[in-house]
Structure 1
Amino acid sequence: MSVQVITRDGEAEYAVLPWAEYQALLQAAGRAIPAAPQEPTAAAAPLNQLAALREAQGLSQADLARAVGISPHYLNLFESGERQPDGAILRALGRVLGVSAWEQGS
């Protein structure tokens, strides 16, 4: 079993293990096996997942900014939560990233 132990102040605090091994432990203990965590769904993703959606499509900040018509610095402000895009930029982000709720101006 490959387990990573994370410590704080010299004491074990967390154990991190591969998903398959976690599921095997749950099964051995007679517990329900949860479904694997899902990637953000693009159709209804909240704005705080902008960076994850961009990265999932293999786009750099510069690539996405260019496609939307804004500077990479301005895009970074949206990804960091420092600014909120106006309706036109949100629709453009939705179009490029495939987030239909953003394309509709939600």
Structure 2
Amino acid sequence: MDLQVISRDGEPEYAVLPWSQYQALLQAAGGVQRQNAASAAQPVDSAACAPDDYPSFDQVGPLRQAKELTLAQLARAVGISPSYLELIENGTRQPDAAIRRSLAWELGVPGWRGEA
């Protein structure tokens, strides 16, 4: 099996393998086989969402809690300190573009990727 393991902080976080091998694993596990990669992933088109549709940064805390993440867990995943994340959550700080992208990814939000 051609498997690539991606680690974060010395711990395995993701496994990447060829599509055909993924399909074989799904089949062996009794899962539904998909015909192509396009049907497997349906990314959110953030260009189709107006910035007004994005949650404001004061919603980071409720979004984090809805995903059952602690402040420390989300901060670690985003690559910032818990105290800095707390400042973002309470509106004291506005995150830069890289942090906005990371927050959007971790919280499953289609926005916060390019807007200022």
Shift of 1:68: 0.2
TM-score w.r.t. the length of structure 1 is 0.57
Give unpaired runs (5+ residues) of structure 1: 1-42
Paired positions, count: 63
Deviations 1:21-45 (A, max 9, x none): xxxxxxxxxxxxxxxxxxxxxx721
**Residue 85 (structure 2) pairs with residue 79 (structure 1):** no
Q: Match of 1:105?
A: 114
Q: For residues 69 and 111 of structure 2, what CA distance do their matches in structure 1 show?
A: 20
Deviations 1:40-91 (A, max 9, x none): xxx7211111100000000000000000000000100001111110111011
The 5 Å alignment of 1:1-106 reads 44-102=54-112, 104-106=113-115
TM-score w.r.t. the length of structure 2 is 0.52
Q: For residues 99 and 105 of structure 1, what CA distance do their matches in structure 2 show?
A: 13
RMSD: 1.2
Give unpaired runs (5+ residues) of structure 2: 1-52
% identical equivalent positions? 52
Write out the 4+ residue segments of structure 1 that deviate beyond 2 Å after TM superposition: none
